[in-house]
Protein backbone atom coordinates (compact mmCIF):
# COMPACT_ATOMS: atom_id res chain seq x y z
CA UNK A 1 0.00 0.00 0.00
CA UNK A 2 1.07 3.59 -0.69
CA UNK A 3 1.99 5.68 2.33
CA UNK A 4 -1.15 7.83 2.03
CA UNK A 5 -3.31 4.71 1.81
CA UNK A 6 -1.58 3.27 4.89
CA UNK A 7 -2.34 6.46 6.82
CA UNK A 8 -5.99 6.33 5.76
CA UNK A 9 -6.22 2.65 6.69
CA UNK A 10 -4.70 3.09 10.17
CA UNK A 11 -5.84 6.63 10.98
CA UNK A 12 -8.46 5.73 13.59
CA UNK A 13 -5.95 3.68 15.59
CA UNK A 14 -3.34 6.45 15.77
CA UNK A 15 -2.87 8.60 18.86
CA UNK A 16 -3.67 12.33 18.59
CA UNK A 17 0.05 13.13 18.34
CA UNK A 18 0.56 10.49 15.68
CA UNK A 19 -2.37 11.91 13.72
CA UNK A 20 -0.69 15.30 13.86
CA UNK A 21 2.49 13.77 12.53
CA UNK A 22 0.54 11.88 9.84
CA UNK A 23 -1.15 15.11 8.72
CA UNK A 24 2.28 16.68 8.29
CA UNK A 25 3.43 13.73 6.17
CA UNK A 26 0.39 14.08 3.93
CA UNK A 27 0.78 17.84 3.55
CA UNK A 28 4.43 17.40 2.53
CA UNK A 29 4.16 14.16 0.58
CA UNK A 30 5.85 15.61 -2.50
CA UNK A 31 8.92 16.72 -0.57
CA UNK A 32 9.30 14.03 2.12
CA UNK A 33 12.53 12.76 0.64
CA UNK A 34 14.15 16.18 1.16
CA UNK A 35 13.53 16.16 4.92
CA UNK A 36 15.20 14.40 7.81
CA UNK A 37 13.02 12.61 10.35
CA UNK A 38 13.94 15.16 13.01
CA UNK A 39 12.91 18.02 10.74
CA UNK A 40 9.53 16.42 10.09
CA UNK A 41 8.99 15.98 13.82
CA UNK A 42 9.77 19.67 14.40
CA UNK A 43 7.49 20.67 11.55
CA UNK A 44 4.63 18.62 13.03
CA UNK A 45 5.30 19.84 16.57
CA UNK A 46 5.75 16.32 17.92
CA UNK A 47 8.64 14.44 19.45
CA UNK A 48 11.09 12.41 17.38
CA UNK A 49 9.89 9.32 19.25
CA UNK A 50 6.31 10.01 18.10
CA UNK A 51 7.43 10.34 14.50
CA UNK A 52 9.36 7.06 14.78
CA UNK A 53 6.31 5.31 16.29
CA UNK A 54 4.22 6.58 13.40
CA UNK A 55 6.65 5.13 10.84
CA UNK A 56 6.44 1.75 12.58
CA UNK A 57 2.63 1.96 12.79
CA UNK A 58 2.57 2.45 9.03
CA UNK A 59 4.73 -0.63 8.50
CA UNK A 60 8.08 1.10 7.96
CA UNK A 61 11.17 0.24 9.95
CA UNK A 62 12.44 3.83 9.87
CA UNK A 63 12.47 6.96 7.74
CA UNK A 64 15.03 5.47 5.36
CA UNK A 65 12.45 2.85 4.47
CA UNK A 66 9.89 5.62 3.89
CA UNK A 67 12.32 7.26 1.44
CA UNK A 68 12.79 3.95 -0.34
CA UNK A 69 9.02 3.58 -0.57
CA UNK A 70 8.75 7.02 -2.19
CA UNK A 71 11.52 6.15 -4.65
CA UNK A 72 9.63 3.00 -5.63
CA UNK A 73 6.51 5.08 -6.33
CA UNK A 74 8.48 7.36 -8.63
CA UNK A 75 9.96 4.32 -10.34
CA UNK A 76 6.42 3.07 -10.99
CA UNK A 77 5.61 6.21 -12.99
CA UNK A 78 4.33 8.48 -10.25
CA UNK A 79 6.71 11.46 -10.32
CA UNK A 80 6.76 14.19 -7.71
CA UNK A 81 7.26 17.93 -8.06
CA UNK A 82 9.97 18.84 -10.52
CA UNK A 83 12.14 21.88 -11.08
CA UNK A 84 12.06 23.75 -14.36
CA UNK A 85 9.69 22.99 -17.21
CA UNK A 86 7.27 20.11 -16.53
CA UNK A 87 7.86 16.78 -18.24
CA UNK A 88 4.70 16.30 -20.28
CA UNK A 89 4.94 12.50 -20.36
CA UNK A 90 5.54 12.25 -16.62
CA UNK A 91 2.70 14.68 -15.93
CA UNK A 92 0.30 12.70 -18.12
CA UNK A 93 1.32 9.45 -16.40
CA UNK A 94 0.71 10.96 -12.97
CA UNK A 95 -2.71 12.26 -14.04
CA UNK A 96 -3.63 8.85 -15.43
CA UNK A 97 -2.57 7.12 -12.22
CA UNK A 98 -4.62 9.50 -10.07
CA UNK A 99 -7.69 9.20 -12.30
CA UNK A 100 -7.54 5.41 -12.29
CA UNK A 101 -7.31 5.32 -8.50
CA UNK A 102 -10.34 7.62 -8.28
CA UNK A 103 -12.67 5.91 -10.73
CA UNK A 104 -11.81 2.39 -9.55
CA UNK A 105 -12.94 3.08 -5.98
CA UNK A 106 -14.82 -0.06 -4.87
CA UNK A 107 -17.60 1.85 -3.09
CA UNK A 108 -18.78 3.87 -6.10
CA UNK A 109 -21.68 1.46 -6.85
CA UNK A 110 -22.82 1.65 -3.22
CA UNK A 111 -22.63 5.45 -3.23
CA UNK A 112 -24.54 5.55 -6.51
CA UNK A 113 -27.29 3.42 -5.05
CA UNK A 114 -27.69 5.79 -2.10
CA UNK A 115 -27.82 8.81 -4.40
CA UNK A 116 -30.32 7.20 -6.77
CA UNK A 117 -32.73 6.23 -4.01
CA UNK A 118 -32.45 9.37 -1.86
CA UNK A 119 -35.41 11.68 -1.39
CA UNK A 120 -33.19 14.75 -1.67
CA UNK A 121 -29.49 15.22 -2.34
CA UNK A 122 -27.42 18.15 -1.07
CA UNK A 123 -23.91 18.50 -2.54
CA UNK A 124 -21.60 20.93 -0.73
CA UNK A 125 -18.03 22.13 -1.21
CA UNK A 126 -15.91 25.14 -0.34
CA UNK A 127 -12.93 26.83 -1.98
CA UNK A 128 -11.38 24.57 -4.66
CA UNK A 129 -13.84 21.82 -3.75
CA UNK A 130 -16.80 23.95 -4.81
CA UNK A 131 -16.31 23.50 -8.59
CA UNK A 132 -16.18 19.72 -8.06
CA UNK A 133 -19.36 19.84 -5.97
CA UNK A 134 -21.10 22.02 -8.55
CA UNK A 135 -20.02 19.72 -11.40
CA UNK A 136 -21.33 16.69 -9.52
CA UNK A 137 -24.65 18.45 -8.88
CA UNK A 138 -25.00 19.41 -12.55
CA UNK A 139 -24.45 15.78 -13.55
CA UNK A 140 -26.76 14.30 -10.91
CA UNK A 141 -29.63 16.65 -11.73
CA UNK A 142 -29.68 15.18 -15.24
CA UNK A 143 -30.48 11.77 -13.76
CA UNK A 144 -32.83 12.69 -10.89
CA UNK A 145 -34.66 15.59 -9.33
CA UNK A 146 -34.28 17.32 -5.95
CA UNK A 147 -30.50 17.82 -6.16
CA UNK A 148 -29.11 21.10 -4.79
CA UNK A 149 -25.61 22.53 -4.39
CA UNK A 150 -24.31 24.65 -1.56
CA UNK A 151 -23.28 26.96 -0.26
CA UNK A 152 -24.70 29.45 -2.72
CA UNK A 153 -22.07 32.23 -3.09
CA UNK A 154 -22.40 34.67 -0.22
CA UNK A 155 -24.68 32.35 1.77
CA UNK A 156 -24.34 29.79 4.58
CA UNK A 157 -25.33 26.11 4.80
CA UNK A 158 -27.32 25.97 8.03
CA UNK A 159 -30.61 26.56 6.25
CA UNK A 160 -29.77 23.83 3.73
CA UNK A 161 -29.53 21.18 6.45
CA UNK A 162 -32.82 21.95 8.20
CA UNK A 163 -35.50 19.53 7.04
CA UNK A 164 -33.17 16.79 5.84
CA UNK A 165 -33.93 13.31 7.14
CA UNK A 166 -33.02 9.65 6.98
CA UNK A 167 -34.19 9.33 3.37
CA UNK A 168 -31.80 12.06 2.18
CA UNK A 169 -28.09 12.19 1.29
CA UNK A 170 -25.49 14.89 1.86
CA UNK A 171 -22.36 14.75 -0.32
CA UNK A 172 -19.52 16.73 1.27
CA UNK A 173 -16.61 17.46 -1.07
CA UNK A 174 -13.57 18.31 1.01
CA UNK A 175 -10.18 18.44 -0.63
CA UNK A 176 -7.17 19.85 1.16
CA UNK A 177 -7.16 23.37 2.54
CA UNK A 178 -10.72 22.90 3.72
CA UNK A 179 -12.32 25.74 5.71
CA UNK A 180 -12.04 25.55 9.48
CA UNK A 181 -15.73 24.72 9.98
CA UNK A 182 -15.73 21.69 7.69
CA UNK A 183 -15.77 19.21 10.59
CA UNK A 184 -18.59 21.14 12.29
CA UNK A 185 -20.65 20.93 9.10
CA UNK A 186 -20.17 17.16 8.88
CA UNK A 187 -21.17 16.72 12.51
CA UNK A 188 -24.30 18.82 12.02
CA UNK A 189 -25.18 16.99 8.80
CA UNK A 190 -24.96 13.72 10.68
CA UNK A 191 -27.52 14.89 13.27
CA UNK A 192 -30.16 15.24 10.53
CA UNK A 193 -30.23 11.48 10.02
CA UNK A 194 -29.24 11.85 6.38
CA UNK A 195 -26.50 9.64 4.95
CA UNK A 196 -23.28 11.61 4.55
CA UNK A 197 -20.87 10.77 1.73
CA UNK A 198 -17.43 12.36 2.13
CA UNK A 199 -15.28 12.81 -0.97
CA UNK A 200 -11.74 14.10 -0.44
CA UNK A 201 -8.02 13.52 -0.77
CA UNK A 202 -6.16 11.47 1.88
CA UNK A 203 -5.83 14.50 4.18
CA UNK A 204 -9.61 14.34 4.74
CA UNK A 205 -9.33 10.97 6.48
CA UNK A 206 -9.53 12.74 9.85
CA UNK A 207 -13.17 13.51 9.01
CA UNK A 208 -14.03 10.04 7.69
CA UNK A 209 -15.48 8.83 10.98
CA UNK A 210 -18.13 11.58 10.80
CA UNK A 211 -19.38 10.29 7.42
CA UNK A 212 -21.53 7.33 6.48
CA UNK A 213 -19.24 6.63 3.51
CA UNK A 214 -15.70 7.79 2.70
CA UNK A 215 -14.60 7.99 -0.94
CA UNK A 216 -10.90 8.77 -1.01
CA UNK A 217 -9.86 10.55 -4.20
CA UNK A 218 -6.25 11.58 -4.90
CA UNK A 219 -5.09 14.95 -6.10
CA UNK A 220 -2.28 15.03 -8.62
CA UNK A 221 0.25 17.66 -7.60
CA UNK A 222 3.40 17.32 -9.64
CA UNK A 223 3.14 21.01 -10.48
CA UNK A 224 2.82 24.01 -8.20
CA UNK A 225 -0.99 23.79 -8.11
CA UNK A 226 -3.17 20.78 -7.45
CA UNK A 227 -4.83 19.17 -10.44
CA UNK A 228 -8.51 18.30 -10.03
CA UNK A 229 -8.67 15.98 -13.02
CA UNK A 230 -9.18 12.92 -10.79
CA UNK A 231 -11.98 14.49 -8.69
CA UNK A 232 -13.78 15.63 -11.83
CA UNK A 233 -13.43 12.13 -13.29
CA UNK A 234 -14.79 10.62 -10.07
CA UNK A 235 -17.77 12.99 -10.22
CA UNK A 236 -18.51 11.90 -13.80
CA UNK A 237 -18.17 8.18 -13.07
CA UNK A 238 -20.30 8.48 -9.94
CA UNK A 239 -23.02 10.40 -11.80
CA UNK A 240 -22.95 7.82 -14.60
CA UNK A 241 -23.47 5.06 -12.03
CA UNK A 242 -26.37 7.03 -10.51
CA UNK A 243 -28.00 7.34 -13.94
CA UNK A 244 -27.67 3.59 -14.39
CA UNK A 245 -29.14 2.96 -10.93
CA UNK A 246 -32.09 5.25 -11.72
CA UNK A 247 -33.03 3.05 -14.68
CA UNK A 248 -35.80 4.10 -17.05
CA UNK A 249 -36.97 7.08 -14.96
CA UNK A 250 -33.46 8.50 -15.24
CA UNK A 251 -33.38 7.99 -19.00
CA UNK A 252 -36.80 9.62 -19.37
CA UNK A 253 -35.62 12.60 -17.34
CA UNK A 254 -32.53 13.01 -19.55
CA UNK A 255 -34.73 13.01 -22.64
CA UNK A 256 -37.20 15.48 -21.12
CA UNK A 257 -34.37 17.87 -20.27
CA UNK A 258 -33.01 17.64 -23.80
CA UNK A 259 -36.44 18.38 -25.25
CA UNK A 260 -36.76 21.39 -22.96
CA UNK A 261 -33.39 22.66 -24.15
CA UNK A 262 -34.56 22.31 -27.74
CA UNK A 263 -37.86 24.13 -27.18
CA UNK A 264 -36.16 27.00 -25.35
CA UNK A 265 -33.17 27.01 -27.72
CA UNK A 266 -30.89 27.25 -24.70
CA UNK A 267 -27.99 25.23 -26.07
CA UNK A 268 -26.51 24.78 -29.52
Say what the pLDDT of residue 78 is: 46
* pLDDT given for residue 142 in this prediction: 92
Q: Which pLDDT value is given to residue 85?
A: 61
Beta bridge partners of 123: 149, 171
Whole-angstrom CA distances from 214 to 9, 193, 204, 211, 217 are 11, 17, 9, 6, 9
Segment holding 42, helix H or strand E: helix 37-44
- Sequence-ordered list of residues with C-beta below 8 angstroms from that of 57, at least 6 positions apart, any chain: 10, 13, 14, 18
CA 151, 194, 178, 69 dihedral sign is negative
Q: What is the structure's pLDDT at 222? A: 65
- List the domains of the chain with CATH numbers: 3-76 (1.10.10.10), 108-264 (3.40.50.10490)
Q: What does the radius of gyration of the chain's CA atoms come to, in whole angstroms?
A: 20
The C-alpha angle with vertex 180 and arms to 161 and 230, in degrees rounded to 5, equals 80
The kind and range of the H/E element at 121 are: strand 121-125
pLDDT of residue 223: 63
The list of the chain residues with pLDDT below 70 reads 30, 33, 71-87, 221-224
Residues recorded for the chain: 268
Over the stretch 191-207, which tens digit does the pLDDT of each residue have? 999 999 999 988 888 89
Amino acid sequence: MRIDERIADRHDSLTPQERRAAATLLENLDDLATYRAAELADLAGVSRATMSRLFRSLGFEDFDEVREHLRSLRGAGEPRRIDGAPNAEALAAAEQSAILRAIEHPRIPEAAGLLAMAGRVLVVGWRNSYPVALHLREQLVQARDHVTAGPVPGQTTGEELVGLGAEDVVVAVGFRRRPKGFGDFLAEAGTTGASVILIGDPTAVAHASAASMWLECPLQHSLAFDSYAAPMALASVLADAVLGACGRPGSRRVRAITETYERMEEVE
